[in-house]
Structure 1
Amino acid sequence: MHLKTASAKRKKYATILTFLTVPLSGFMTDVYLPSFPSMAENLDVSERSIQLTLTCFFLSYGVVQLFVGGILDSIGRYKPVLLSLLVLVVSSLGIAFTKDVFVICLLRIVQGVGTSFIVVAKRAYFVDLYNNVQRKNFLSYFTIVWSCGPIIAPFLGGYLESLFSWQANFFFLAIYATVLFFGELFIGGETIRNFKKFNLRKTALLYTVMLKNKGFLSGILILGLAYSVVMVFNIAGPFLVEHHFNFTPVVIGYCTLILGLSWMLGGIISKKMVHYAFNPKILFFTAFQLVLIGVLIGLGIQYDNLFLLMGFAFIIHICSGFVFTNYFTNNMLFFPSNAGISGGLMGGLLYIITSISSYVISSSGTIVSTFDMSLRYLLIALPLALVIFFAVRYRSKRLKKPLLHV
């Protein structure tokens, strides 16, 4: 059934179901973060092997987003979403029952593909069904609802790990996907207005043109590195909190919950400062982030304390959230006539960069102290600052304004 011809009541329920689906990607990545240490112990593998399971998800999730928009435009949204939800159910159960980390990595790649189809289809839902005024109203809630995933997921995962085991996280994901599947089966429907033939050559040509735009390309690099700052704690934090500071998985969940809120706070501050000149505010928050990391490095030499680390990480993540929100909005304005394709390219490359950063963090050596964590923050924040500096210079030249003109 096409939702365009559905009753107002059914369309309302389908919209609620869509909002329940939006946080899925956050749950897929973050719900099992507090279980990293116990997974490594239970599967008798290294920390790096468990961290690689997250990298695998990010990589496939990013790569598929480069093409999934065109595929969904040619075959529709509804059936691919149903199939993808079934894939998530089966793969989550497969991870819960296996003892082989290699199999888990393969299944996480499969989950990245399935999640990509679902997220892109649901992102298009509001564009397909609603007019401009209604669309703006719903999309204003979209980011807020999406942010709930990375905030709630590790908090829930900490308790699931503490009360049951690491496998409980993936049983939860299977149940979540099952509920969404039956919701789609009985309430959902097709939303696409007009089917379009998938043209890989045309898409590749558009991508080439977009990537030749230095402002757009630097914006993608900044988005990927800004999000990678968050991944420093997500990748290494669970092992540090449990093995070094001797806290429980529940505490890991609270830590990631707090840092998720700080990321959201950075976005809120960004919206409050929307009328401030772009270059000065970006340079200020970037420099402030580097200063904070420098101070944390200095203090980390003498003091090794979780509360110290969390206090500085909270503000560092606010800075990254601020930068991310500003550049996300800025990048969406480069190609307004091809917003869907540019959004897919931006989202895909963002997660590919994040997967590379995650691998670099997990491969950078043992992290056993506050000082070690501060160096990893510097490892990501320094390249971020350099790219921002050159991006700001390019923006100033393009707009023919002085570098720090307010």
Structure 2
Amino acid sequence: MTSATPAPASRRRAVELIIILGAMTAFAPLSIDMYLPAFPTLQEAFDTTAGRIQLTLSSFFIAFASGQMLYGPLADRFGRKKPALFGLGLFVLTSIGCAFAATVEQLMVLRFLQALGAGGGVVVARAMVRDLFPPSEAVSVFSRLMLVIGIAPMLAPLLGGYLLIWFDWQAIFYFLALCGLLCALAVQFRLKESLQPHMAQSLSPRAIAIAYGRLLADRRFIGPALVGGLSIAGMFVYITASPFVFIEVLGLSPETYGWVFGLNAFGFIAASQVNARLGRRFGPDGVLSVSNLVLALVGLALILGGALGIGGRYGVFLPIIGYITCLGFIMPNTAALAMAPFGRNAGSASALLGTLQFGLAAAASAIAGTFSHETPAALSLMVAGLGFCGTLAYFLLCRKARPVV
């Protein structure tokens, strides 16, 4: 049995809580998306190849995925705030370090450490949702978090493009450091510890291994985690390859690329807010069933447009927008389903969920970096293929058995 912490006492406090938790989760998309318009500039500044610049993104994915495994047990043992503050402090310092990188190799290492810092906020935010809200409300809360998370990728490339024009690429990392500092202050002074003392878990390696093993063996966890992870991996392939495909192949300016990227984020935000209502009416499983079917159809359209050239630019842009919009339904529902049964070790469940999802994203991003992006074909085929795999995982692992009529 687990005991739930009462929900926030007032609507104003609930809104403040969701904004802070959303900000803690937003450091990954901010750190990923804000410097995307600078990829060609970084390639020239470090006198390197496009593939090596993409590795600075892949190194972030790898550390962001693996680092969460460390924060989960710490959050279940010492509470939620201390690990979050440690992670934010590391994020601030390494963001400043990125601005002083003299070689692409130094930037890769600093981006790796920056991602280790960013991972703490994500783990703690998901765990606190599970601490503070009953499972029946979790879908709605995760959907509201998507509003804050979605604003980050909508604004980040646009802001990054203008910082690049007004200053230089280093300004992007100074801005990230400032965001990290402000969030750390909010966590310290506006968040209360949500882990009840009697819920603290052991830090022994054996206990940690058993907890993670049980999660991996539980279909209630692994099914939604894989569905979300495969679908998100498609998004990160798009994030990794799109600066080169959209700017250099399809001829967009960095500013226009930021607007196109923002349109995708708007679709994601709108879907996540509609999902808050649909989830209450049809349940997360019902919404996932339809959204995964739509995702498969979008993948087919992307193959026709990006690989076969039907529709020109818009044959790539429109299916990508559809794909990212579908994630606004898929992400909050898979998170809620995966976390719901595991209140006692919510930190470990949150960490493993993030590790699986961003581990898949890191692998897909690294593979995308090895392909030539002289045409949109590789981008389109990879995104569509991962979407198909996510749909297949849903119907194999998540769909409830229907009664025989």
TM range (shorter): 0.7 to 0.9
Correspondence 1:60 to 2:63? yes
Cα distance in 2 for partners of 1:399, 1:179 equals 47
Check the 8 A contact 2:34/2:160 in 1, yes or no: yes
- CA distance change for structure 1 residues 334 and 285 in 2, over 3 Å: closer, same or farther? farther
The answer for the alignment partner of 1:232 in structure 2 is 237
The answer for the alignment partner of 1:242 in structure 2 is 247
- CA distance change for structure 1 residues 380 and 233 in 2, over 3 Å: closer, same or farther? closer
The answer for the alignment partner of 1:211 in structure 2 is 216
Correspondence 1:368 to 2:377? no
Deviates more, 1:169-178 or 1:197-206: 197-206
Cα distance in 2 for partners of 1:331, 1:132 equals 14
Correspondence 1:84 to 2:87? yes
Correspondence 1:75 to 2:57? no
Check the 8 A contact 1:162/1:249 in 2, yes or no: no
The answer for the alignment partner of 1:257 in structure 2 is 262
SS of the residue aligned with 1:367?
A: coil
Cα distance in 2 for partners of 1:78, 1:389 equals 38
**How many angstroms does 1:285 deviate by?**
1.2
**How many angstroms does 1:181 deviate by?**
3.8
Check the 8 A contact 1:31/1:155 in 2, yes or no: yes
Deviates more, 1:155-164 or 1:174-183: 174-183
Cα distance in 1 for partners of 2:323, 2:296 equals 11
Out of 26, 34, 44, the residue aligned to residue 23 of structure 1 is: 26
- CA distance change for structure 1 residues 268 and 283 in 2, over 3 Å: closer, same or farther? same
- CA distance change for structure 1 residues 378 and 74 in 2, over 3 Å: closer, same or farther? same
Cα distance in 2 for partners of 1:283, 1:85 equals 34
Cα distance in 1 for partners of 2:277, 2:185 equals 40
**How many angstroms does 1:147 deviate by?**
2.2
Residue identity in the other structure for 2:212: Y
The answer for the alignment partner of 2:305 in structure 1 is 296
Out of 378, 399, 403, the residue aligned to residue 401 of structure 2 is: 399
> How many pairs align?
389
Check the 8 A contact 2:59/2:111 in 1, yes or no: yes
Correspondence 1:177 to 2:186? no
- CA distance change for structure 1 residues 318 and 141 in 2, over 3 Å: closer, same or farther? closer
**How many angstroms does 1:288 deviate by?**
1.0
The answer for the alignment partner of 1:357 in structure 2 is 364
**How many angstroms does 1:295 deviate by?**
2.2
**How many angstroms does 1:18 deviate by?**
5.0
Deviates more, 1:173-182 or 1:17-26: 17-26
Out of 343, 347, 356, the residue aligned to residue 354 of structure 2 is: 347
**How many angstroms does 1:394 deviate by?**
4.8
**How many angstroms does 1:361 deviate by?**
0.9
Cα distance in 2 for partners of 1:350, 1:295 equals 27
The answer for the alignment partner of 2:98 in structure 1 is 95
- CA distance change for structure 1 residues 377 and 320 in 2, over 3 Å: closer, same or farther? farther
Residue identity in the other structure for 1:70: P
**How many angstroms does 1:226 deviate by?**
0.5
Correspondence 1:148 to 2:151? yes
SS of the residue aligned with 1:153?
A: helix
Correspondence 1:202 to 2:211? no
Cα distance in 1 for partners of 2:78, 2:246 equals 46
Cα distance in 1 for partners of 2:14, 2:179 equals 20
The answer for the alignment partner of 1:329 in structure 2 is 336
SS of the residue aligned with 2:183?
A: helix
**How many angstroms does 1:343 deviate by?**
2.8
The answer for the alignment partner of 1:107 in structure 2 is 110
Cα distance in 1 for partners of 2:276, 2:101 equals 45
The answer for the alignment partner of 1:158 in structure 2 is 161
- CA distance change for structure 1 residues 282 and 33 in 2, over 3 Å: closer, same or farther? same
Percent identical residues = 24
- CA distance change for structure 1 residues 247 and 165 in 2, over 3 Å: closer, same or farther? farther
- CA distance change for structure 1 residues 72 and 386 in 2, over 3 Å: closer, same or farther? closer
Correspondence 1:285 to 2:291? no
Check the 8 A contact 1:229/1:377 in 2, yes or no: no
Cα distance in 2 for partners of 1:141, 1:240 equals 32
Check the 8 A contact 2:127/2:350 in 1, yes or no: no
- Unaligned stretches of 5+ in structure 2? 1-5
Cα distance in 1 for partners of 2:153, 2:349 equals 24
- CA distance change for structure 1 residues 320 and 174 in 2, over 3 Å: closer, same or farther? closer
The answer for the alignment partner of 1:35 in structure 2 is 38
Q: TM-score, normalised by structure 2?
A: 0.82
Cα distance in 1 for partners of 2:292, 2:22 equals 35
**How many angstroms does 1:71 deviate by?**
1.0
Residue identity in the other structure for 1:399: A
Deviates more, 1:109-118 or 1:245-254: 245-254
Which deviations, in whole Å up to 9, do the C-alpha atoms of 1:334-376 show, x marking residues without a partner? 556654433321121111111001011111x221233x2xx42
- Unaligned stretches of 5+ in structure 1? none
Check the 8 A contact 2:231/2:386 in 1, yes or no: no
